[in-house]
């Protein structure tokens, strides 16, 4: 697999960083994951804008302009063997000679990227939906920043992995926030509901696309806090992310989700929205920049 480290493209197996890197010592950095379809990076400008927001949030200067990022990402995609990829990029506050929490002076940021095959949900997962469990949200209060400090997400995700489920949905103070690596939507009485973009959730790129498609197709929606009771009583639950796209949760904490003839199966709005999403992807690939 190809990688990029501090100005150089190289095989991933040859990439080396210092153990004094602040990413390693303090998780002092931010990251992005950009899906690539048929070698076309999806919503690249939006990912680079979110990266800038994360960097601003941790007071770390952006090492590159958007044009420089674009060139480097396109080169990495070109050097990678697969058509559908997930580009991972990470910027840390660099490697100092001392371990000191205060920001170092005159130390260059560490920039690391690699691209792996994009792993999409299987056709079986699409057909049957997936299992999820709930857990308390144990993260900090700046979940809008895509920080590499992912230990709470790792521990939370493992809770679902332990019971063979695909995602863990997090609750804070009795309200739904998001998944360990995804945003969450629910449907109640035909209305799509999602938590608003505030500092308690990551502003997902897929979340934005889903809302744009909802508006475009005149489907009713509301952005507001969702209580635990509303989550458990939802007609549909979906998770969205760059790799999952729109994926129905059909079992929550061992109970089937849904009503009528789609109990325990993907609901009608999940199917429709995923179809809109696929159609949109196709259009964008035919008309890059759309
Ligand atoms: N995760 N919320 C969290 C906590 C996430 O980690 C992610 C993405 C999302 C969805 O964002 P987007 O639609 O931009 O992918 C929401 C990525 C894929 C990851 O960490 O691998």
Q: Are residues 198 and 263 in the same domain?
A: yes
Structural domain of residue 8, as residue ranges?
2-117
- Indicate the number of domains in the chain: 2
- Ligand 1 — pocket residues by CB below 6 A? 33, 178, 181-183, 202, 204-207, 240-243
267 and 129 together in one domain: yes
> Is 255 in the active site?
no
Q: pLDDT tens-digit profile of 201-241?
A: 999 999 999 999 999 999 999 999 999 999 999 999 999 99
Among 65, 99, 117, identify where a domain stops. Answer: 117
Give the list of residues 6+ apart from residue 261 with CB closer than 8 angstroms, or none: none
Active-site residue, from 72, 105, 131, 146: 146
Question: What is the CA(93)–ligand 1 centre distance, in A?
Answer: 22
pLDDT, tens digit (0-9, with 9 covering 90-100), for 180-200: 999 999 999 999 999 999 999
Write down the pLDDT at residue 284: 85
156 and 264 share one domain: yes
Cα gap 30→54, rounded to integer Å: 6
The last residue of a domain, from among 117, 133, 149 = 117
Which of 242, 246, 273 has most ligand 1 atoms within 8 Å of CB, for mutation? 242
Q: What is the pTM of this model?
A: 0.97
**Tokens, residue 3:** 């990688």
- As given in the structure block, the two tokens for residue 250 are 């059909």
| Beta strand segments in 159-228, E | 167-172, 175-179, 183-188, 191-194, 221-223
pLDDT tens per residue, range 39-53: 999 999 999 999 999
Q: Are 32 and 134 members of one domain?
A: no
């Amino acid at each position: 697999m190809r990688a990029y480290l501090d100005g150089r493209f190289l095989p991933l197996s040859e990439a080396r960083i210092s153990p004094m890197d602040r990413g390693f010592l303090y998780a002092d950095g931010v990251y992005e994951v950009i899906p690539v379809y048929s070698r076309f990076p999806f919503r690249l400008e939006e990912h680079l804008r979110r990266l800038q927001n994360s960097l601003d949030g941790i007071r770390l200067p952006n090492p590159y302009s958007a044009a420089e990022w674009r060139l480097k990402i396109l080169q990495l995609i070109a050097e990678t063997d697969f058509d559908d990829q997930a580009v991972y990029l990470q910027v840390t506050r660099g490697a100092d000679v001392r371990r000191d929490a205060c920001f170092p002076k005159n130390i260059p940021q560490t920039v690391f990227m690699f691209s792996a095959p994009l792993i999409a949900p299987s056709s079986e997962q699409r057909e049957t939906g997936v299992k999820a469990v709930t857990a308390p949200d144990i993260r900090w209060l700046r979940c809008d920043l895509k920080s590499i400090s992912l230990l709470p997400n790792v521990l939370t995700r493992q809770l679902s992995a332990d019971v063979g489920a695909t995602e863990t949905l997090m609750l804070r103070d009795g309200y739904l926030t998001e998944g360990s690596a995804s945003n969450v939507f629910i449907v109640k009485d035909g209305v799509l509901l999602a938590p608003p973009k505030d500092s308690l959730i990551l502003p997902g790129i897929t979340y934005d696309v889903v809302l744009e498609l909802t508006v475009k197709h005149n489907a009713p929606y509301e952005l507001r806090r969702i209580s635990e009771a509303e989550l458990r009583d939802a007609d549909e639950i979906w998770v969205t992310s760059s790799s999952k796209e729109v994926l129905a949760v059909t079992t929550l904490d061992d109970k089937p989700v849904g009503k009528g003839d789609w109990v325990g199966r993907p609901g009608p709005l999940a199917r429709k929205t995923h179809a809109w999403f696929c159609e949109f992807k196709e259009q964008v690939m035919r008309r890059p920049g759309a």
